[in-house]
Amino acid sequence: MKREIKFRAWNEEDKVMIEGDNLAFEQYAPLVDQLKSCKHIMQYTGLKDKNETEIYEGDFISNGHDTCLIIWRHDLASFALSKNGWAYDHYFGEAVDPGYVEVIGNKFQNSDLLRNK
């Protein structure tokens, strides 16, 4: 199975998420100026939630009881789950089966969820 490499970006200035297809610079040249305002580039984890929604770094996922933030851990070279109260972050694939969770937002458009993380 080949790994799908995709990205999205949060445009801080306009407060909009630019989805991966629109990051193809040569096809969307008018967006280049808009992309200059992007401070946060997020990578697709390669996983989908129970609703077939793609899960990206910066997304909040929930199993109905707990809410976790998807982060990239440079020191572990891996996506991980982060949650208040945990002593350490957990590897995404080991800690939870993506088929049993759903994306409920992201840290830019749903910052209120950060308090509950």
Question: How much is the average pLDDT of 41-70?
Answer: 93
3-state secondary structure 5-27: CCEEEEECCCCEEECHHHHCCCC
Tens digits of residue pLDDT in 57-80: 999 999 888 899 999 999 888 899
- Residue 47: strand, helix, or coil: strand
Residue bearing the bigger pLDDT, 81 or 95: 81
Q: What is the pTM of this model?
A: 0.81
Domains along the sequence of the chain with CATH: 7-116 (2.30.30.290)
Q: For residues 57 and 80, give the distance between their C-alpha atoms in angstroms, rounded to a whole number.
A: 9
Q: For residues 15 and 17, give the distance between their C-alpha atoms in angstroms, rounded to a whole number.
A: 7
Question: How much is the average pLDDT of 35-55?
Answer: 86
Q: For residues 46 and 73, give the distance between their C-alpha atoms in angstroms, rounded to a whole number.
A: 16
- Look up tokens 């945990």; give the residue: 86
